[in-house]
């Protein structure tokens, strides 16, 4: 007999960190107690995307969406909702504007504008059960390619779809496949680049955790098209759950005969192995990735030769990013002409973004290309946290740039982001508010690229370090106006001369903040002021004599005895001794201490 109800519990990394595995155990216990285990099925799914309010629990068929569920809520869900059919009001999502509970996800602002293609199965199927993937049309795209299409027809279909690489550069996927197919060799390779390294980006991880079979199917399709029989997934070892789900999926696909010898009886062989990365950012660059898999140092090399000609073990190799691959099966089953109707003229389909930073709805979203930043940040993301003012959004991770208010209505696609001085990158989106200092933000990203530079080419190794030092000097209030010209020139030189994508893009945060927030740099240099109040060296602490009652609490807590004053009369800060640690501000109960 079939189950009457399904309880879907998010089993992604984010929700598991908030005890979603225990929620499943407790739900199953409660159901057993009530003899309902044969009527109600509990399923661990992939990411629902609404990580801000995780763990998420969804009840089917009445499509109820519970947020921030704790293991102790399991009993109430079973007793009230499952047995009596009454929704547990307090666990429903509250619409922040209308202050009313929204019981199903379709009516939540977060989901309204989304179109989930790459994430189609995330939060819907059990990723560790191949049958659920097959029930959702899984492996039918592979079957269609192997039994009805010639390899060149598959490539033509992908080209027609207009799909571009989702890993960062946006190179047309069909063209990449065509190059790899042209070279002859005894062995060719399909590589899935799952080395997701941008700070704050987690779309590839979520796809692998929530729908691993879509990657396997797409790699096999690619193998058929370019004439490769071996696939490799290069995944960072920091993604244990994604690795586990991939391993399970590969094993199941082999058991079902969907990987291995003679797939669908067509004589096509394909196998997949997993290779582990140690988490170096540069290994997301395809040549560095290939060297890392070969057991060499993870350093990039000059292109050409492109991997399509001489890649892994010097054989023709096609490298695609996880999200790119997740789109392939749908393009085959629904057709390129369905896919290329979505999106903008030169960027087709959808893009997954990881929303992070000072935004209300932190999470994973997928929207059609051409959606504006405003729609993403305000309608889906729910606006800025704590009612603060929007200042900038960093797209494309450490290699991207900061976009501002004036870019909010730009339709997001590969070309528009580049024209605005940023880039698509892998799709990280970090939102900043009025409290963020843009010089510090640029410094933060430079710190990351300096750390992650492999050191092979001088512009990246030395140039980025110099950029970092200048930015550090400016945040200390020791910068000069000439430094701004040096930043500009040096950035341009690094962009033009660095060996790989890492160095060529690393000055982007500096250039875009210089362009959009020039005044903020000037304020640091000329006025020795940090307008956002972030750069400690430029702050001075001050006690308002009107507000201070002379309780002495600040003086007792000051680690360097910089605060003096008689009891019951206003105190003073000796700025020559003050180390600007901020302890006094935290301790003062009368808000008498401020920075300026």
**Residues of this chain that bind other proteins (CB under 8 A):** 1-6, 8, 60-63, 83-86, 124-125, 131-132, 134-137, 139-140, 143, 147, 255-258, 264-265
- Least separation in angstroms between residue 255's CB and other proteins is 5
Q: How far apart are the first and last CA of the chain?
A: 70
* 3-state secondary structure (DSSP) of residue 7: strand
CB 350 within 8 A of CB 376: no
* Dihedral, CA of residue 460, residue 462, residue 468 and residue 470, to nearest 10: -130
Q: Which residues contact 262 (CB under 8 A, 6 or more apart)?
A: 268, 269
Strands (DSSP E) along 291-387, which ranges?
A: 317-321, 350-357, 363-368
* 3-state secondary structure (DSSP) of residue 60: strand
Q: Which is nearer to other proteins, 87 or 473 (CB)?
A: 87
- Least separation in angstroms between residue 441's CB and other proteins is 40
- Least separation in angstroms between residue 258's CB and other proteins is 6
Distance CA 321, CA 168 (A): 9
Q: Which is nearer to other proteins, 132 or 286 (CB)?
A: 132
- Least separation in angstroms between residue 82's CB and other proteins is 8
CB 73 within 8 A of CB 91: yes
- Least separation in angstroms between residue 225's CB and other proteins is 18
Strands (DSSP E) along 284-380, which ranges?
A: 317-321, 350-357, 363-368
Q: Which is nearer to other proteins, 105 or 491 (CB)?
A: 105
CB 96 within 8 A of CB 360: yes
Q: Which residues contact 420 (CB under 8 A, 6 or more apart)?
A: 401, 403, 407, 410
Q: Which is nearer to other proteins, 38 or 586 (CB)?
A: 38
- Least separation in angstroms between residue 67's CB and other proteins is 18
- Least separation in angstroms between residue 124's CB and other proteins is 6
Distance CA 561, CA 111 (A): 53
Q: Which is nearer to other proteins, 5 or 553 (CB)?
A: 5
- Least separation in angstroms between residue 227's CB and other proteins is 22
- Least separation in angstroms between residue 176's CB and other proteins is 28
Q: Which is nearer to other proteins, 121 or 505 (CB)?
A: 121
Q: Which is nearer to other proteins, 3 or 378 (CB)?
A: 3
Residue of 531, 537, 496 whose CA lies nearest to 513: 531
Whether omega for the bond prior to residue 305 falls within 30 degrees of 0, making it cis, is yes
Q: Which is nearer to other proteins, 216 or 423 (CB)?
A: 216
Chain-centroid distance, C-alpha 167: 11
Q: Which is nearer to other proteins, 139 or 234 (CB)?
A: 139
């Amino acid at each position: 007999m079939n189950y009457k109800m399904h309880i879907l519990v998010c089993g992604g990394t984010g929700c598991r960190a908030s005890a979603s595995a225990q929620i499943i155990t407790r739900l199953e216990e409660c159901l057993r107690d009530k003899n309902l285990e044969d009527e109600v099925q509990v399923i661990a799914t992939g990411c629902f995307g609404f990580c801000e309010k995780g763990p998420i629990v969804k009840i089917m068929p009445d499509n109820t969406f519970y947020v921030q569920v704790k293991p102790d809520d399991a009993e109430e869900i079973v007793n009230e909702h499952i047995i009596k059919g009454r929704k547990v009001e307090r666990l429903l999502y509250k619409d922040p504007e209308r202050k009313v509970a929204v019981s199903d996800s379709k009516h939540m602002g977060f989901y309204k504008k989304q179109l989930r293609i790459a994430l189609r199965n995330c939060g819907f199927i059990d990723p560790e059960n191949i049958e659920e993937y097959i029930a959702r049309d899984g492996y039918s795209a592979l079957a269609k390619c192997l039994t009805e299409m010639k390899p060149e027809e598959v490539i033509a279909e992908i080209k027609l779809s207009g799909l571009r690489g989702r890993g960062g550069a946006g190179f047309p996927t069909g063209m990449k496949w065509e190059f790899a197919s042209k070279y002859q060799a005894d062995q060719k390779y399909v590589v899935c680049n799952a080395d997701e390294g941008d700070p704050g980006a987690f779309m590839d991880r979520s796809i692998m955790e929530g729908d691993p079979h879509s990657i396997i199917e797409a790699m096999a399709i690619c193998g058929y098209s370019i004439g490769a029989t071996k696939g490799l997934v290069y995944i960072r070892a920091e993604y244990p759950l994604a690795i586990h789900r991939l391993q399970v999926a590969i094993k199941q696909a082999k058991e079902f005969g969907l990987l291995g010898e003679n797939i669908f009886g067509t004589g096509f062989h394909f196998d997949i192995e997993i290779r582990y990365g140690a988490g170096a950012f540069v290994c997301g660059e395809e040549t560095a990735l290939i060297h890392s898999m070969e057991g060499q140092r993870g350093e990039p090399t000059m292109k050409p030769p492109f991997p399509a000609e001489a890649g892994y073990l010097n054989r023709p190799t096609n490298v695609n990013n996880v999200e790119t691959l997740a789109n392939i099966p749908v393009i085959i089953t629904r057709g390129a002409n369905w896919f290329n109707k979505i999106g903008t003229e030169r960027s087709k389909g959808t893009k997954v973004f990881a929303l992070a930073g000072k935004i209300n709805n932190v999470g994973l979203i997928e929207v059609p290309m051409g959606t504006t930043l405003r729609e993403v940040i305000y309608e889906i993301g729910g606006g800025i946290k704590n009612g603060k003012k929007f200042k900038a959004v960093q797209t494309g991770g450490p290699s991207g740039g900061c976009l501002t208010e004036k870019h909010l209505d730009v339709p997001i696609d590969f070309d528009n982001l580049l024209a605005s001085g940023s880039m698509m990158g892998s799709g990280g989106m970090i939102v900043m508010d009025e409290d963020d200092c843009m010089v510090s933000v640029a410094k933060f990203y430079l710190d990351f690229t300096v750390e992650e530079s492999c050191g092979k080419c001088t512009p990246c190794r030395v140039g980025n370090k110099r950029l970092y030092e200048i930015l550090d000097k400016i945040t200390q209030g020791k910068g000069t106006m000439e430094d701004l010209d040096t930043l500009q020139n040096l950035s341009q030189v690094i962009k033009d001369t660095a060996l790989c994508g890492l160095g060529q893009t690393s000055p982007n945060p500096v250039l875009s903040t210089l362009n959009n927030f020039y005044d903020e740099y000037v304020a640091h240099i000329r006025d020795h002021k940090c307008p956002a109040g972030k750069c400690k060296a430029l702050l001075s602490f001050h006690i308002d004599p009107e507000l201070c009652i002379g309780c002495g609490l600040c003086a007792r807590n000051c680690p360097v005895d910089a605060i003096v004053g008689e009891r019951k009369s206003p105190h003073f800060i000796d700025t020559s001794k003050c180390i600007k640690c901020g302890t006094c501000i935290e301790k003062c109960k009368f808000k008498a201490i401020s920075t300026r």
